[in-house]
Amino acid sequence: ACARSNSNRAAIGHLHRQLYGRQYPVLLVNTDGSTVRLRYGEPKRILMMPLDSNTLPEAERKARLRRHFPSKVKAKEEETFEGIDLDTYKKFWKK
């Protein structure tokens, strides 16, 4: 079989490529705040480099961990109707 390398080949089946040639302009933000424009394979606006927590001071590292993993929500106590005088709300009841 003759394999043609022209535009008609894509009409027969799918393109046999691992990566496609389209690149999108993306802004890369480094951990120190500097930015670089580059071409990326996916359409995104901003890419952020991950921050290495080993280089941070101990207090800032613990503060970041507390923000990422907040403590569990405490259960609230249910309100009771023992201290409420129901005669004050008698005018709102339907007869």
Task: Burial-class residue 55 by CB neighbours within 10 Å (0-12, 13-18, 19+).
Answer: exposed
pLDDT, tens only, 36-59: 999 888 888 998 888 888 888 999
Q: Please, what's the b/e burial string for 20-37 (b: 16 or more CB within 10 A of its CB; e: otherwise)?
A: eeeeeebeeeeeeeeeee
- Pull the structure tokens for residue 25: 């302009």
More confident residue, 18 or 62: 62
pTM for the model stands at 0.41
- Per 3-state DSSP, the chain is made up of helix, strand and coil in percentages (nearest 5) of 25, 15, 60
